[in-house]
Amino acid sequence: MTLKDSARLGDVAAPRKRFAVDFSDLTVLIVFLAIVVYLTLSTASFMSTANLLAILVATSLIAVVACGQTFVIITGGIDLSSGSVVALAGVVTGMALQAHVPMPLGVAIGVGVGVACGLFNGLAVTFLGMNPFIVTLAVMAMARGLAFILPGGATIFGFDDSFDQIGGGLIGPLPIAGIISLAALLVGAFVLGKTVFGAEVYAVGGNREAANMTGIPVRRTLILVYLISGALAGLGGVILTGRLDSAQPIAAQGLELNAIAAVVIGGASLFGGRGSMLGTILGVLLIGVINNGLTLHNVEPFWVQFIQGAVIFLAVLFDSLNTKRKAAG
């Protein structure tokens, strides 16, 4: 499988010689493996079970959000509101739990807040014909505002243990948050790569006008991708609140940008029609190991940001060079 198996509406890549590997498609995988090898050799602790599980927990939130973001980006849209929706969903869940709502209902409320935000985005993009960047930018500000307004700006804490398990608990040796995010990514990969809905997502992103003319339900598809992105951000809010054992209005600031970066590193095009969940998984892992490696090497936090930015730049640069080369051939 290649990383950028664009449009899984059947295989779309140009016919390749059977065993010839298109090297450029493997860039992210190679960089990822190189970093893993380097960290294994340069630190004693990287390959330890404890550290690997720590990476899994640390990346679980961005993984869940990036999963939803992948759907949106493949339609040629973007969801800038996910970070704020994580915070809002967390705060609302926290308030519900404080009001002694049963745990499963609390979780459902958190996800429901995400669904509501996603639905708002989707309806504005389709029926009002607004630009996704602007709509989700507005919702980003509104959701963040609500996250402060509802609890009066205060952090909410002190939940039941059963709830905190979602963020920090274990099943056997595995963190529950990690299992949830892995499950989201796998289900996402199946839906995107194998189902009719997935094929419609690629078609809408590939050429919206042609998709409409060929009978693909463009509006329904667009509403659904924003709804999925919102729902997963809501789920992210529940996980984060459980892990921190508190719901903070300032939580997850800038998270959407990391998630978008992961999707783009994974080979998705911001113009739509191209990308894959497998790519997103690799993008998330790459960001995860880089952050972990920088921590293990005690790199100053300011450098962490710089290096993250540089990695995104290089990933997109390779992609753009690769696209140019292919177009020329």
Partner 1 sequence: MSDLLAMEGVSKSFVGVPVLTDVSLTVVRGEVLGIVGENGAGKSTLMKVLAGIHRTDAGIIRLEGKTFEPGGPGDAIRAGIKVVHQELSLFPDRTVAENIFAGALPRTGFGTVRQGQLMRDARAVLARVGLNVAASAKLRTLSLAQRQLVEIGRALSQQARIIIMDEPTATLTGHEVEFLKGVIAGLKAEGVGIIFISHHLEEVFAICDRVAVMRDGRCVDIRPVGAWTEDAMVQVMVNRPIDKFFPKLDIAPGPVLIEVERLASDRRFHDVSFQVKAGEIYGLAGLVGAGRTEVLKTIFGALPLTAGMVRIAGQDHRPHSPRRSLAAGIVLTPEDRKAEGLVLPFSIRANIGMSTLGKLARFGVMSRRAMVQLADQSIRRLRIRTTSSAQEVRRLSGGNQQKVVLARAMSVTPRVFMLDEPTRGVDVGAKVEVYTLIGELAAAGAAILIVSSDLLELLGLCDRIGVMRAGRLVGEVDRSDFSQDRIMSLAAIG
119 binds partner 1 (CB under 8 A): no
Reference 3, options 271, 266, 308; nearest CA is 266
Minimal distance in Å, beta carbon 200 to partner 1? 7
Question: Strand pairing of 156-157 and 246-247?
Answer: antiparallel
What would the x/- binding string for partner 1 be over residues 136 to 155, using CB under 8 A? --------------------
Residue 157 pairs in a beta bridge with 246
Give residue 187's Cα distance to chain centre.
13
* Among 209, 254, 301, 302, interactor with partner 1 by CB under 8 A: 209
* Among 73, 202, 260, 292, interactor with partner 1 by CB under 8 A: 202
- The token pair at 86 is 């994580």
> How far apart, in Å, do the first and last CA atoms of the chain sit?
22
322 binds partner 1 (CB under 8 A): no
Residue 170 pairs in a beta bridge with 175
Mapped onto helix, strand or coil, the DSSP state of residue 311 is helix
H-helix or E-strand spanning residue 178: helix 176-194
With respect to partner 1, which residue has the nearer C-beta, 30 or 134? 134
Number of residues interacting with partner 1: please give it, by CB under 8 A.
33
Distance CA 151, CA 121 (A): 24
197 binds partner 1 (CB under 8 A): yes
* Among 51, 212, 246, 308, interactor with partner 1 by CB under 8 A: 212
With respect to partner 1, which residue has the nearer C-beta, 40 or 131? 131
* Among 211, 228, 240, 287, interactor with partner 1 by CB under 8 A: 211
CB 55 within 8 A of CB 286: no
* Among 172, 215, 254, 301, interactor with partner 1 by CB under 8 A: 215
What would the x/- binding string for partner 1 be over residues 8 to 47, using CB under 8 A? xxxxxxxx--------------------------------
With respect to partner 1, which residue has the nearer C-beta, 207 or 253? 207
270 binds partner 1 (CB under 8 A): no
Q: What's the alpha-carbon Rg for the chain, to the nearest Å? A: 20
Span of 133-141, 208-216, 226-234, 311-319 interacting with partner 1 by CB under 8 A: 208-216
Span of 1-9, 17-25, 132-140, 155-163 interacting with partner 1 by CB under 8 A: 1-9
Instruction: State the angle between helix axes of 196-206 and 218-244 in degrees (0 to 180), rounded to the nearest 10.
Output: 110
| b (16+ CB within 10 A) / e for 181-199 | bbebbeebbebbbeeebbb
Write out the residues near partner 1 by the rule CB under 8 A.
Answer: 6-15, 194-200, 202-203, 206-207, 209-217, 273-274, 329
